Amino acid sequence: MWVPALNGVSSSLLFFVAFPISVSSNMEDDRMSITRATGSSAVIPCDLPTQNIQYIHWYKFQEGTVPRRLLYYDVSSSKVVLGPGISPGKYHGYEGTDKMYKFVISNLQESDSGVYRCAVWEKYSGSAFLYTALKFYLDIDMSPKPTMFLPSITEIKRDNTGTYLCLLENFFPHVIKVYWREKGGNRVLPSQQGNTMKTADTYMKFSWLTVSGNSMDKQHMCIVKHEKNKKATNQEILFPSVNEGMPEGSMNEHTQVNYCPFHNYSKVLRTRQLIKGLLLDTLQLQLMNTSAYYTYLLLLFKSTVYFVIITSCVFRRTGVCSNQKSS
């Protein structure tokens, strides 16, 4: 029996379920996500053409390991043959009443996370096709993981202001809302934030708030709204007042976060380049928008000037012609 070649196939690893939106013979992942809990089972459809299929193979991809064939399904005999070293009862395959081939994973564990793909061999054409089936993840914590950056001493002394920065990492899906408030207050404060950025298979985002004057004596909160937050509640990340500061090693009372003062350069260096790049992207976008706005104003001004000049010339010629006729 022939086994489809899988050289050069990329892989990735995370923990949630993602079903395909379309069938493809390339390796692009076009999908949406659904979660599955540890200990449950999952039935995964393989959306394939039903004609001229002899065998359907299921492969598992995990980061840092070679692809592994879990089983193949003999369409003519409806027989499932497990791959080498695969324990009976874990995986199963069958043809559903909807004429779609199904792959079943029982008793889901963290080790089951990975990318699953089905491949087929068309017995008449002699061609092999590797189809994108899905990315599969278990239901673990995919909520945003915050890191707090506190104002630097230099900024406080030189500018009499303080900038809080909240870095949010390793969350999925990408939809997230971040805003700031004073502790105990209801008013949303004006703040800045970068674009949501994809990093490997998760996302990251950062937001910052600059305070001055009396606000430097108040505590502030970064509010994070995300569908994977525990108990479906907003994360409330408490930042100490600028003048108070936070002793290193202390814990945030609202949620567990990484804490890093801006003046502690040994810790900042790990994320410094990334934040710098994100800031540059944000500033570049703002600059492009500002440039486009002023370019539009300039063109509008030039058009207005041309209109006035042309109108003046037309009326002047009309006046000259009228005078000639009168004389």
In sequence order, the 6+-apart residues with CB closer than 8 A to the CB of 293 are none
Instruction: Specify if 237 maps to a domain.
Output: yes
Same domain? 87 vs 163: no
b/e string for 71-87 if b means 16 or more Cβ within 10 A? bbbebeeeebebbeeee
The top-scoring range by mean pLDDT among 57-61, 233-237, 303-307 is 233-237
Residue 211 has pLDDT above 90, yes or no: yes
pLDDT of residue 263: 45
Number of domains within the chain:
2
Do 56 and 45 contact (CB within 8 A), yes or no? no
User: pLDDT digit string (tens) for 220-234?
Assistant: 999 999 988 887 789
- Give the domain CATH number at 186: 2.60.40.10
Give me the phi and psi of 5, to 5 degrees please.
-75, 145
Same domain? 190 vs 119: no
Tokens representing residue 13 in the block: 């690893």
- Among left, alpha and beta (phi > 0; psi -120 to 50; other), residue 268 is alpha
* Torsion (CA) 68, 81, 5, 121 in degrees, nearest 10: -150
Q: Does 306 or 205 have the greater pLDDT score? A: 205
Residue 314 has pLDDT above 90, yes or no: no
Same domain? 91 vs 179: no
Task: Look at 152-156, 185-189, 322-326 and tell me which has the smallest mean pLDDT.
Answer: 322-326
Same domain? 243 vs 167: yes
Same domain? 202 vs 263: yes
Which pLDDT band, with edges at 50, 70 and 90, does 276 fall under? low
User: pLDDT digit string (tens) for 127-171?
Assistant: 555 554 455 555 567 889 999 888 888 888 899 999 999 999 988
User: pLDDT digit string (tens) for 69-128?
Assistant: 999 998 889 999 999 999 899 999 998 887 788 889 888 887 887 778 888 766 555 555
- Single residue among 136, 156, 181 that ends a domain in this structure: 136
- Work out the average pLDDT over 182-201: 90
User: pLDDT digit string (tens) for 191-200?
Assistant: 999 899 888 7
Where in the sequence is the domain holding 220, given as residue range(s)? 145-283
Instruction: Specify if 200 maps to a domain.
Output: yes
Instruction: Specify if 180 maps to a domain.
Output: yes
Same domain? 66 vs 40: yes
Instruction: Specify if 312 maps to a domain.
Output: no
Tokens representing residue 136 in the block: 């599969």
pLDDT of residue 275: 57
Give me the phi and psi of 219, to 5 degrees please.
-85, 150
What CA–CA distance (Å, rounded) separates 197 from 49? 36
In sequence order, the 6+-apart residues with CB closer than 8 A to the CB of 65 are 11
- Work out the average pLDDT over 228-254: 72
pTM for this entry:
0.47
Closest CA relative to residue 17, chosen from 251, 173, 153 = 173
Residue 26 has pLDDT above 60, yes or no: no
What residue ranges in 25-144 does DSSP mark as E strands?
Answer: 31-34, 42-46, 53-61, 68-74, 79-82, 91-95, 101-105, 114-122, 128-136
Residues pairing with 193 in the sheet: 207
